[in-house]
Homo-oligomer: A and B are copies of this chain.
Amino acid sequence: MRALLIVAHGSRRATSNDEVRALSDAVAARDDGLYDRVGCAFLELAEPTIPDGIRALMNEGVSDITVVPYFLSAGRHVVEDIPAEVAKAGPLPPEVNVRIAPYIGRSETMADLLLAQGRSTA
């Protein structure tokens, strides 16, 4: 089983964390079958933590997890903290594979998203 785990910073504002959870639900609804599970986790200030999020997916039988950092730039959180938190989920069984995708600010479709966002208010 495959999973996508959206990792956000986490906020003291509960509504910001709920936005991420709603986004996770929206991703699950739009997935065309590549992922059996779509979830979210937080680097800090909200639950679940990244290790807890990974372990919860493993407990559901997921063996292939792609972590997508919901971050706009390659700061310390993306470069150091997220890999360190992912590592804390281990040691993993050999059949479990966790990879970290590029952060979303690197997405080639971000330019299109910005244009669409402008157009939505034009």
Q: Which residues of A contact B (CB under 8 A)?
A: 2, 4, 6, 8, 11, 13, 15-16, 19-20, 23, 26-27, 29-31, 34-35, 66, 68, 70, 72-75, 99-102, 104-105, 107, 109-122
B-chain residues with CB within 8 Å of residue A11 when the two chains form the complex: 73, 75
Copies of the protein in its oligomer: 2
Given contacts A13-B75, A102-B121, A109-B109, list 20 more A-B pairs with CB under 8 A.
Answer: A8-B72, A13-B73, A15-B74, A23-B105, A23-B110, A23-B111, A26-B111, A30-B112, A31-B115, A34-B119, A66-B121, A72-B72, A99-B121, A100-B121, A101-B121, A102-B117, A104-B114, A104-B117, A109-B112, A110-B113
